[in-house]
């Protein structure tokens, strides 16, 4: 029996869909797991585009729930990665087209056949959020190192705990090591300290994410992407491996190199 993991955040645009696509692809590609990703963002579907599967959609999540088609018919198999499937969201309906009970049934059906069921949650804490978490047994929270995103993450962690989730895990996305270094961005320890949750991974800001999204190919499969490397690490941690958080040290600046040359300690 597989596990159902919801990827959520509260605040919009922090990287839930990117994270879902990369973890899903990572688990299928690196660990040969059978994975299905559900786009629970009804009305604003995105996961299909990030995965480059938008031209393959025939049926969607709402069709399945309303009995228009069978579950199998709506699942899109990703031809590039064996064992990777997508259940797309409906684009023209709204969130009330699905109930939490129906989502739970759907997830329970899918976990019979898949090792992982990943649910890409919409932004917010309303109906769409309630639907997305209804069938899940674990949760991954995505936040960026900004006050508003961390605040919303805290709110969501509270709601998840109230809903019976134990130990949600945190992914900090879009870290900029150069800004952290000069004291203009909260660092990992600050955020972990404030939210008091376990860290699942840290994803650097990386323009290759934009490039890979343009192409519809998740960065986790891109050898040259730092964010891709970070997502590969996250994938291995989900599988229980003990992988240290990768160091995001920036290249020393010219000034710092000069200081080192003269035997001075680099300023912290």
Partner 1 sequence: MDFLKLFGREDVSSKDIAKERLRLILVHDRANVSPQFLEMIKSQIINIISDYVDIEEEGLEVKLTRMKKDEEITVPALVANIPIKRIKHVARA
Residues that bind partner 1 (CB under 8 A): 146-147, 150-151, 154-155, 158, 180, 182-187, 190, 194
Q: Is 143 among the residues that bind Mg ion (CB under 5 A)? A: no
Residue whose C-alpha is closest to residue 5's, from 34, 32, 28, 37: 37
Annotated binding residue at 17? yes
Annotated binding residue at 8? no
Strand partners, 120: 7, 39
Q: Is 8 among the residues that bind Mg ion (CB under 5 A)? A: no
The alpha-helical segments, DSSP class H, found in the chain are 16-31, 47-50, 61-65, 71-74, 100-111, 127-134, 147-162, 177-181, 188-195, 207-215, 226-238, 254-261
Instruction: Quote the least distance from Cβ 220 to ligand ATP, whole Å.
Output: 12
Instruction: Quote the least distance from Cβ 128 to ligand ATP, whole Å.
Output: 10
> What tokens appear for 87 in the block?
């259940």
Tell me the site size for Mg ion, rule CB under 5 A. Answer: 3
Q: Is 14 among the residues that bind ligand ATP (CB under 6 A)? A: yes
Kindly write out the interface string for residues 221-260 of this chain, putting x where it contacts ligand ATP by CB under 6 A and - elsewhere.
------x---------------------------------
DSSP string computed for 172-209: EEEE-HHHHHTTSS--HHHHHHHH--EEEEEEE--HHH
Q: Which does residue 123 touch among Mg ion, partner 1, ligand ATP, none (CB within 5 to 8 A, set by kind)?
A: ligand ATP
Q: Is 206 among the residues that bind ligand ATP (CB under 6 A)? A: yes
DSSP-derived secondary structure letter, 166 = -
Residue whose C-alpha is closest to residue 239's, from 118, 136, 115, 131: 115
Instruction: Quote the least distance from Cβ 189 to partner 1, whole Å.
Output: 10
Annotated binding residue at 124? no
Annotated binding residue at 43? no
Q: Which is nearer to Mg ion, 16 or 111 (CB)?
A: 16
Residue whose C-alpha is closest to residue 28's, from 84, 86, 110: 84
Distance, in Å, from the CA atom of 199 to the CA atom of 233, rounded to the nearest integer, reads 12
Q: Is 213 among the residues that bind Mg ion (CB under 5 A)? A: no
Annotated binding residue at 92? no
Residue whose C-alpha is closest to residue 74's, from 59, 56, 91: 59
Instruction: Quote the least distance from Cβ 151 to partner 1, whole Å.
Output: 6
> What tokens appear for 116 in the block?
């992982």
Q: Which residues are annotated as a binding site for ATP?
A: 11-18
Residues that bind ligand ATP (CB under 6 A): 9, 12-18, 41, 46, 122-123, 173-174, 203, 205-206, 209-210, 213, 227
Binding residues: 11-18
């Amino acid at each position: 029996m597989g596990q159902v993991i919801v990827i959520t955040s509260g605040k919009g645009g922090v990287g839930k869909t990117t994270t879902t696509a990369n973890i899903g692809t990572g688990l299928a590609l690196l660990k040969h797991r059978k994975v299905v990703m559900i786009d629970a963002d009804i009305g604003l579907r995105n996961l299909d585009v990030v995965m480059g599967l938008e031209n393959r959609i025939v049926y969607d999540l709402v069709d399945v729930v309303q009995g228009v088609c069978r579950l199998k018919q709506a699942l899109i198999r990703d031809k590039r990665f064996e064992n990777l499937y997508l259940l797309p969201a409906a684009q023209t309906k709204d969130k009330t087209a699905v109930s939490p009970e129906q989502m739970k049934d759907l997830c329970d059906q899918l976990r019979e056949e898949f090792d992982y069921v990943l649910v890409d949650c919409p932004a917010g804490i309303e109906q769409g959020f309630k639907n997305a978490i209804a069938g899940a047994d674990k949760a991954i929270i995505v936040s960026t190192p900004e006050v508003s995103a961390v605040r919303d993450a805290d709110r969501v962690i509270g709601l998840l705990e109230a809903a019976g989730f134990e130990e949600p895990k945190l992914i900090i996305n879009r870290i900029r090591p150069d800004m952290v270094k000069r004291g203009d961005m909260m660092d990992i320890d600050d955020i972990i300290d404030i939210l008091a949750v376990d860290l699942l991974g840290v994803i650097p800001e990386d323009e290759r994410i934009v490039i890979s999204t343009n192409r519809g190919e998740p960065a986790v499969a891109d050898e040259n992407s730092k964010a891709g490397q970070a997502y590969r690490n996250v994938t291995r941690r989900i599988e229980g491996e003990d992988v240290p958080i990768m160091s995001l040290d920036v290249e020393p600046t010219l000034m710092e190199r000069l200081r080192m040359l003269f035997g001075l300690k680099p300023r912290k």
